Structures are given as C-alpha cells and as structure tokens.
Amino acid sequence: MAPEPRFVPRFAAEPPQEVAPYGRWAELLESALREAADASEFDDVEFDEIHWFPDRTWHGRTYVPATARLRDGRELFGLVSFHPPVDGEEPESLRAIADVTDDTADQNPEWTLDLCDEALGAWRGEHGATATMTLVWGVPMVPGGTIATAELADLCVDQCLLTGEGRFTLLAPDDYRGDLLDIKLWNIRGEELARESLYAEDDEE
C-alpha cells in the first residue's frame, strides 16, 4: 500500500454507543443544559422539548449534543459532556455549554443540511500545522439520506449513520493546512444527496 499523502487523524472518536437519553439520565442531562442556558448572556432562553443527537467519545470524554427551539423562535444549541461511567458507576465531571442563534433552517430554505458545531480541542500535525477537532451535529433538510460524512479535501475523516429521527453527530479535524471541513449526506446506494461547508457564509463573502 502506498504511503498516505495526507497525514491527519481519521475516525478519531468512538462511534455512538448509546440510544437517545431517557428517564433519569435524560433529566440529568436536561438539567445541566438548562443551567448552561440560564448562565448564558442571552435573554429569554425558555424552551420545552430538547432534541438529543448521537453521542461521541474522544480523549476520555463523551459528548452529547442537543438543540431546542426557544419560545421566541430562536434556536438553542449546545452539548453536555462527561467522563463515561465505568462498571456501572455514575458519569463524572458533567459539563454543559449552550449558545443561541436566530439563523434557523426556517429562514434558510436553501439549506440542505442544518448544522451546529463546537471546537473541542486541537491536534498537532506536521511542521507545526494544527487541526481543530470539531464536533458537528445536524439533520438533513432533504429526504433519502442514511449516512453523513465529514470530509477534509475529499478525504473522509468521520462518518455517522442517521438515527431514526434523521440526526447525526461527527467529530473530525477541521482547518488543517488550508483545508476546511465539508459535511456530506449519502443515500443507501452511496449517492451524494447534499453537502454543506461549515464556512458557507465566509465563502460567500
């Protein structure tokens, strides 16, 4: 096999391990997310239903992303992270972050994927180049998708099967040696249905 021309981490995170949170565990995650929302600088962060996305584990922490529609029409997005439990013990070091946007899919009918992202850390590569390890979660705005991929210069660096609700979570290196992430949606036949860049607005400018 020929040497790999692009030295970059691929499939760095564990695949999703758990079903959507429920019961007491869901209540614990919801409480942490609401506390983070209340502690934010945004006003009127009132919301009801939370949409949880597949978990991903990287560097000893599990990340469970979420979105929720605020009662004023904006959208809250965030995540809860923790050290995964060992031998049936309770998860440790529970942390949550939350942010708010008024740039929603309802206002952007041209979107093919509705994405949120959060930088989690860095990976140092060749000659001092650094990649931003980025958590991306979202839902397709077009039908027929079965799997989502994160690609860096057309190299697949992570993938995730869509849940029954059509949600996915990716964790991949971004902004490395001039290359930026593209998120792509594929159907069961391996046909590309949609793609979005995390930098669409910057590209347009």
Residue-wise pLDDT tens digits, 25-43: 899 999 999 999 998 888 8
Using the structure block, give the residue that is written with the tokens 């046909």.
191
**How long, in residues, is the chain?**
205
pLDDT > 80? residue 203: no
11 lies in a domain? no
pTM, to two decimals: 0.92
Give the Cβ contact number of residue 21 at 10 Å. 18
Band (139; pLDDT cuts 50, 70, 90): very high
Give residue 31's domain range. 23-204
Distance CA 202, CA 115 (A): 15
pLDDT > 90? residue 4: no
pLDDT > 70? residue 87: yes
18 lies in a domain? no
Domain count, the chain: 1
**Mind giving me the DSSP string for 65-116?**
EEEEEBTTS-EEEEEEEEEPPSTTPPPEEEEEEEEEES--GGG-TT-SEEEE
5 lies in a domain? no
pLDDT > 50? residue 113: yes
71 lies in a domain? yes
Distance CA 152, CA 140 (A): 20
